[in-house]
């Protein structure tokens, strides 16, 4: 179901103490200040998830993982499976973040399997796509996004596709302080929705949340979230500060 979602991707940040402070501050501030119905999701490193779950219990704030393995279980040292995440009470899992694609060689075909495994275990995948700077400068961004979205998600039937969240994160805007303009982001979000509409129909396309990620801050969030096809954000650096993360949550239209 299409709804506004603001997910914090903590990446490789969060000692035990930092995790406890950040998660409890977010819960308290969300309860006190946020009343626009936005779904807030905290995605710490795997080891921090249990603590985030403990601290968010009974609140509207959800927990997510940054990755999961494509297999159900087995001899995959260092990996975490979707059933393990689900058993702990995780709701969301980021799949195909550009850092996973770049540094860990994750490609669309593998990501499609991760999406399946997540869904088979009742986790909601947040499937990421996004072009690099050279791809954009070479005019290849639409083609890159189309391939990432189709190869990662279009094997799903309509019902399963509707149970996913998509995140558009232009690689050149991640951690660079250089955000896509609201118009640039809207253009790609509308394009992703049109791809879905062509294959699955507009009802399905209109029911999927498409998040924007890449240097979202309290100062630019409202403008981005006001665009017709931007349904929230996937937040990196600013998600490590409770004040900024909550202000971004509050930038969602009521």
CA distance 130 to 143: 11
Residue from 229, 236, 249, 250 touching ligand 13P (CB under 6 A): that is: 236
Residue nearest to ligand 13P (CB): 236
Quote the crossing angle between the two packed helices 108-120 and 141-153, to the nearest 10°. Answer: 40
Active site residue 155: no
Assess 242 for contact with ligand 13P (CB under 6 A): no
Of 175 and 201, nearer to ligand 13P (C-beta) is: 175
Residue from 38, 93, 216, 221 touching ligand 13P (CB under 6 A): that is: 216
CB proximity list for 169: less than 8 A, separation 6 or greater: 97, 98, 128, 129, 130, 212, 213, 214, 234
SS3 content of the chain, % helix, strand, coil (to 5): 50, 15, 35
Residue appearing with tokens 């509308």:
190
Assess 213 for contact with ligand 13P (CB under 6 A): yes
Active site residue 169: yes
Assess 169 for contact with ligand 13P (CB under 6 A): yes
**Which sign, positive or negative, has the C-alpha torsion 121, 113, 115, 48?**
positive
Of 200 and 233, nearer to ligand 13P (C-beta) is: 233
Of 102 and 206, nearer to ligand 13P (C-beta) is: 102
- Smallest gap from residue 51 Cβ to ligand 13P (A): 20
Quote the crossing angle between the two packed helices 218-225 and 242-250, to the nearest 10°. Answer: 20
Q: By the criterion CB under 6 A, which residues form the site for ligand 13P?
A: 9, 97, 169, 174-175, 213-216, 234-238
Q: Which residues are identified as catalytic?
A: 97, 169
């Amino acid at each position: 179901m299409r709804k506004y979602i603001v997910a914090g991707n903590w990446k490789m940040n969060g000692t035990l103490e930092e995790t406890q402070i950040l998660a409890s501050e977010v819960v308290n501030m969300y309860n006190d200040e946020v009343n626009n119905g936005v779904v807030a999701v905290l995605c710490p490193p795997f080891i921090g998830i249990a603590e985030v779950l403990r601290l968010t219990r009974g609140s509207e704030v959800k927990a997510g993982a940054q990755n999961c393995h494509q297999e159900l279980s087995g001899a995959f040292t260092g990996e975490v499976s979707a059933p393990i995440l689900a058993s702990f009470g995780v709701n969301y899992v980021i799949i195909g973040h550009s850092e996973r694609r770049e540094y860990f060689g994750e490609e669309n075909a593998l990501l499609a399997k991760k999406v399946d495994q997540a869904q088979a275990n009742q986790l909601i995948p947040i499937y990421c796509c996004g072009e690099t700077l050279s791809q954009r400068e070479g005019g290849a961004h639409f083609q890159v996004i189309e391939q990432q979205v189709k190869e990662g998600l279009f094997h799903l039937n309509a019902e399963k596709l509707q149970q996913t969240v998509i995140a558009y994160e232009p690689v050149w805007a991640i951690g660079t302080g250089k955000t896509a303009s609201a118009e640039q982001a809207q253009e790609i979000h509308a394009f992703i929705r049109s791809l879905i509409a062509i294959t699955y129909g507009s009802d399905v396309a209109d029911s999927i949340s498409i998040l924007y990620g890449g240097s979202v801050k309290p100062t630019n969030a409202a403008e981005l979230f006001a665009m017709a096809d931007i349904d929230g954000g996937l937040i990196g650096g600013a998600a490590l500060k409770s004040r900024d993360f909550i202000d971004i949550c509050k930038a969602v239209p009521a």
